[in-house]
A and B are shown apart, each in its own frame.
Chain A
Amino acid sequence: MTRLPTLSWSRAEIAFWLLPIVAFFVFPHYLALGSQVMIAALFALSLDLILGYARIISLGHAAFFGLGAYTAGLLAKHGYGEPLSGLAAAAVVAAAAGWITSFLVVRGQDLTRLMVTLGIGLMLYETANQWSSVTGGVDGLSITEMKKVFGVFGFGLDGRTAYLYSLAVLFVAFNAARLIVRSPFGLSLKGIREGERRMPAIGASVRRKLVAIYTVAAGIAGIAGALLAQTTQFVGIDVFSFERSADLMIMLVLGGTGYLYGGLVGAAVFMILQDYLANLNPVYWQFWLGLLLVLLVLFARGGIIGGFDTLRRRFARG
């Protein structure tokens, strides 16, 4: 019998959230990388909601990330550069797109879902590519008019604002996601994951719940995209790319699906490794990435958090 989830914070969780604050003071030269980690973590968090909790395989989650990035980017480019409302607008646009496409996604089985999400992602990529009068096409979109956060903290070259801003947004979104998965709604999502056919028998509408979580996840992915646009002040067409969706999946699986923290840990490990290895040689990086994925699937399905979990249980028992 597992206990019902509560909202209280464990010591390990509090320690986890102190890490990025410590890192802010200890590694002042790596703040740019730090905000990239935070953005990737937020993005991975959104995928965890649909993959880890609802078991929807998506190969096109970058669609929502990209929509958010272009929404925030275009708003700022056309003179409306206030960051927080930019995030909100990105969330709304991405969530709306998520809601519309969710009806296509929840219908099918794994293969259909995978191909529909892939197709939607590729369509948006093509749109961004061809519609260059608005999106800047392959050249991307440079933002020069980013306003200050709360009118006080400007995005400077030292990356301090970007880091703390990303961290704050990540923390707020994480709390929202934590609230969702620990609510009765979150429990019914787990029920769908474990036995989709049986859920209707206890009166749960599988379709409605999947639509809801897909919409929420899309919105969070949109916020992550908007954060990238605002902190780097650039939107490239690669925000929609298949590689971004695939990398995202790797981060999440590396950290462990279905824990919320898995995406965060996976994103941090992935981004730091990438920063180190891809600087050596981008081609080798892709090879090691592929190998890592193969090994993860064959030998370490729980990811990093899953591994810790197994260890903890073993100690608790013995």
Chain B
Amino acid sequence: MNALTSLGGVLFDGLAYGSLLFLIGIGLSVTMGLMNFINLAHGAFAMLGGYAAVVAMSHLGIPFLPSLVIAFVVAGVAGAVLERFLYRRLYRAAHLDQVLFTIGLVFMSIAAATYFFGPAQQPVRLPEFLTGQVHVAGLDLGTYRLFLIAMVIVVTIGLVWLVERTRFGAQVRAAVDNPQASVGLGINVDGVFSITFALGSALAGLGGALGINVLGLDPVFPLKYMVYFLLVVAVGGAGTIRGPMIAALLLGVFDVAGKYYVPQIGAFVIYAAMVAMLLLFPAGLAGRRS
């Protein structure tokens, strides 16, 4: 393989990886942006979606695509329930409390996943039409990764439409920009937040299910990718779709490239980049957070 094709391959894999990170992380960006809530347990919803899809496929015999819908719904419902009964109590709490609380949730989710599914990676059987490779412009692209990118593009278009064109989207934007003034204008900020939290969890669940083949799925998933989701938000800034998207794609490409070209320093690249980015752009790349 020559240098150019390998570069193309790395870019392609990085984009697929980054679009997954975006899909999972976008909900977190709302949680942190809208409620100023530090949620370290966001990855648990992605993991839940992943396991929901695995159960649907291997135990209930449901095909792959409907299983994705199940993952979306299960994670969304779990998000709505947890938000209503637990998260809501801590919106005004100190950040330390939020950190401790969500670490607690992460530990419980890891233990629960190990109890029910064991510590091993979960396999996934993809349908015929998503396996194999497609030959495009001199590159062999994995069909599944193309499917993944297409899915994320569709979801993103839907999200942009929701946020930019609907009344609900206008309320979300207003609430992120200035919660107090939004309340004053008669927007039910808590209600808006409940819905966005559930939607963000559902998208994370979908991402977790789509990502079984790419990110893997095992009980330590929420810890393993915690830094990545936090990065998408911290670097991308809150309240926009563009910011986290750029951040996630950059992160994906850099991570894949780092692991491909300089495997000996591996994950080090990402952590160093993270610290540098945080210091250089404290408000995120898009810089909307005040």
Interface residues of A (CB under 8 A from B): 51, 55, 57, 59, 104, 107-112, 114-116, 118-120, 122-123, 126-127, 130, 242, 246, 249-250, 253, 283-284, 286-287, 289-294, 296-298, 301
Contact = CB atoms under 8 A, between A and B. Distances in A.
The 4 closest A-B pairs by CB, nearest first: A290-B107, A293-B104, A287-B111, A290-B108
A294 B106 CA distance: 10
Nearest to B274: A119
Interface in B245-290: 264-268, 271-272, 274-275, 278-279, 282
A119 B227 contact: yes
A297 B106 CA distance: 14
B140 interface: no
Given A116-B278, A126-B268, A283-B115, A110 B104 contact: no
Nearest to B32: A111
A227 to B, nearest CB: 26
A235 B107 CA distance: 25
B282 A116 contact: no
B131 interface: no
B38 A110 contact: yes
5 contacts: A111-B234, A115-B275, A286-B107, A293-B101, A294-B104
Q: Give chain B's interface residue range (CB within 8 Å of chain A).
A: 35 or more
Given A290-B107, A297-B101, A122 B96 contact: no
B95 interface: yes
A213 to B, nearest CB: 17
Given A114-B38, A291-B104, A293-B100, 12 more contacts: A109-B282, A110-B95, A111-B32, A112-B282, A115-B230, A116-B278, A123-B275, A126-B268, A130-B264, A284-B115, A290-B106, A292-B104
Given A57-B99, A293-B101, A298-B89, A287 B274 contact: no
A293 B274 contact: no
A123 B265 CA distance: 10
Contact of A249 (B38, B103, B265): B103
A51 B264 contact: no
B111 A115 contact: no
Residue of A104, A118, A127 contacting most chain B CB atoms (<10 Å): A118
Contacts of A283: 111, 114-115
B278 A115 contact: yes
Contacts of B181: none
A18 to B, nearest CB: 32
A256 to B, nearest CB: 13
Contact of B275 (A111, A120, A292, A296): A120
Given A57-B99, A297-B101, A290 B268 contact: no
A108 B278 contact: yes
A112 B100 CA distance: 16
Contact of B100 (A122, A130, A253): A253
Contacts of A118: 227, 230
A242 B86 CA distance: 25
Indicate the member of B86, B104, B114 with the most A CB atoms within 10 Å.
B104
B36 to A, nearest CB: 9
B155 interface: no
Contacts of B112: 287
B1 to A, nearest CB: 26
A114 B98 CA distance: 12
Nearest to B96: A57
Nearest to A127: B268
